[in-house]
Amino acid sequence: MMPMTVRQVAEAVQGRLIVPQTGDGVEDGADALATSAVSDSRQVREGSVFVAIAGERVDGHDFVARAGESGAVVALVQHEVDAPVAQIVVPDTVDALGLLAKANIAARRAAGTPFTLIGITGSVGKTTTKDLMAALLSTLGSTVAPVGSFNNEIGLPLTALKVGRDTRFFVAEMGASHVGEITRLTTIAPPDIAVVLKVGCAHLGEFGSVERIAQAKSEIVQGLVPDGLAVLNADDAHVAAMAPLAPQGHVFWFGMAGDDAEASAGNAASGKSDALFASDVRTDDGDRPSFTLERADGGTAHVQLAIRGTHNVMNALAAASVAHLLGVPLQSIAETLSRQSRISPHRMAVSTVRRGGMSFTLIDDSFNANPDSMRAGLDGLARWRSDEDPYRIAVLGAMLELGGDESALHEGIGEYAAGLPIDAVIAVGNDDEHFDALASALAKGARKRRDDSDGNTPEVHWVHDIDQADTLVRALAGDHDDTVVLLKGSHASGLSALAQRWTTADGQPSDHE
């Protein structure tokens, strides 16, 4: 955080400052220096601004006194708290957090040294692209990026407040479930470069249509600084259509080259001088993709990704485009991408799980799910190879916020899974009737495809909690020496808890029951 006095913090958030008084009535603390901001009292250190947020289960106002004892110089509150620490009273602490972050970014820009803010949005791939981009830009200078998917009205400002005098790059992930949310985020942190990955059907139930999703994602392009640059996926027609929104027409394209392009808008990536594209995409037996990274002027580099899934080629390509624009040589981009084997948790994370006398390979992609990412995860499972053709199990949970077509979309994913070389499909519900019904639709679709097929098709199971899924997976893995299991579902489906049960906190193999 750019250093500010408590008084300057109050001015930035337009709040009423209340400071403790010494015994002789003199106010104490208004000129204390704030050097960080947190919303978790356990993260408070000397010089922190503590932001008291009233959540559904925990009210941060209950921890103001503890924050003061731990070194906080001031607390942002919605009402005065009986605690011996300076407080700034505001109508809404989340709004105030945004104002403070906005002031911090403005102060960093005013410092006069090079600083670039990159915003990333899209229906899928934001966090992986952010992780890869942060690794690439870190080779050029100090880079701030969010942990996990800190991409909303709380997560983005908290990350923006980690930007300090020495920060060269800030990679900001921007998510949305409603029109207008990304506009709000770009008001806090206006990007110099805006990356749009894909318009899919995540949050379809909230938006109402794919066109509305595209409108929401386009807000990041409209939020660019006046001389900003849009980095757009040429192979997504909804994204390509955002080009006219870029300031002064400043657009850089990325996409698949030649025959690999899907619905490319005139194959823009390979036909433009301002473009980077991928060709000759292949995967190894562990579903790790390789490809040729090509500049429009003919420069090339071979990339071998350490992360899994061909869908990550586009994520790597987007990250590489920004790094290329900022001066990283193509060969250095390829070398850095090849070293990135660990990204944010529960995203195609592979480990060996040992439980009792049996073991299996786990592909943990349980952080979140929508139809696009479900198909990508299932494709990865289908491509998995080892010494022998493995026994493949897809453990699938519900996808949320898909609107009125959610049952049909779940049935469609079940049918898709059953059409792949997968040996077992396990649809997992829970004690929520809605989740259980969606799991039932997954199983229904898989059974329909199985019953209509003349070839080898998977066995299909519908279970009602992760305990039943655990028992079933262990039984199947015990009967097959070489088993690989995909976990895929929305976070609220609870499959990430099953992943945590199977692995330790650091992702290493678990040997205990």
Q: What is the pLDDT of residue 505?
A: 40
Kind of pairing, strands 33-34 and 16-18? unpaired
Does 125 show up as a binding residue in the annotation? yes
Check if the beta carbon of residue 189 is closer than 8 Å to that of residue 220: no
Rounded Cα distance, 265 and 284, in Å: 30
CATH architecture label of 4-91? 3-Layer(aba) Sandwich (3.40)
Q: What is the pLDDT of residue 346?
A: 64
pLDDT category at 455 given cuts 50, 70, 90 is low
- Two tokens, residue 299: 């420069």
Residues 17-67 have pLDDT tens digits of: 999 876 544 456 899 999 999 999 999 999 999 999 998 889 999 999 999
Check if the beta carbon of residue 238 is closer than 8 Å to that of residue 259: no
Q: Find out if CATH 3.90.190.20 is the number for domain 349-502.
A: yes
- Two tokens, residue 215: 């409108």
Q: What is the pLDDT of residue 178?
A: 84
Nearest to 313 by CA among 298, 332, 292, 295: 292
Distance of CA 198 to CAs 126, 145, 201, Å? Answer: 9, 20, 10
Does 44 show up as a binding residue in the annotation? no
Nearest to 55 by CA among 145, 154, 148, 142: 154
89 has which bridge partners?
16, 77
Check if the beta carbon of residue 488 is closer than 8 Å to that of residue 495: yes
Does 128 show up as a binding residue in the annotation? yes
Answer yes or no: is pLDDT of 412 > 80.
yes
Domain spans in the chain, listed from the N-terminal domain onward: 4-91, 113-338, 349-502
Nearest to 456 by CA among 433, 494, 424: 424
Check if the beta carbon of residue 99 is closer than 8 Å to that of residue 14: yes
Q: Phi and psi at residue 59, in whole multiples of 5°?
A: -105, 115
Q: Phi and psi at residue 355, in whole multiples of 5°?
A: -135, 115
Higher pLDDT, 307 or 120: 120
Q: What is the pLDDT of residue 270?
A: 45
Mean pLDDT throughout 146-174? 92
Amino acid of residue 410: H
| Contacts (Cβ under 8 Å, ≥6 apart) of 455 | none
- Two tokens, residue 513: 């029951």
Residues 372-406 have pLDDT tens digits of: 889 988 998 998 887 678 999 999 999 887 877 89
pLDDT category at 201 given cuts 50, 70, 90 is low
Does 22 show up as a binding residue in the annotation? no
Nearest to 120 by CA among 73, 68, 176, 162: 176
Rounded Cα distance, 268 and 261, in Å: 10
Answer yes or no: is pLDDT of 262 > 50.
no
Q: What is the pLDDT of residue 457?
A: 76
Answer yes or no: is pLDDT of 97 > 90.
yes
Answer yes or no: is pLDDT of 267 > 50.
no
pTM of the model as a whole: 0.79
313 has which bridge partners?
none
Mean pLDDT throughout 85-96? 97
Mean pLDDT throughout 204-225? 83
Which CATH number describes the domain made up of 113-338? 3.40.1190.10
Nearest to 227 by CA among 181, 276, 186, 190: 190
Does 127 show up as a binding residue in the annotation? yes
Mean pLDDT of the chain: 88
Nearest to 422 by CA among 455, 375, 469, 457: 457
pLDDT category at 513 given cuts 50, 70, 90 is very low
Check if the beta carbon of residue 12 is closer than 8 Å to that of residue 51: no
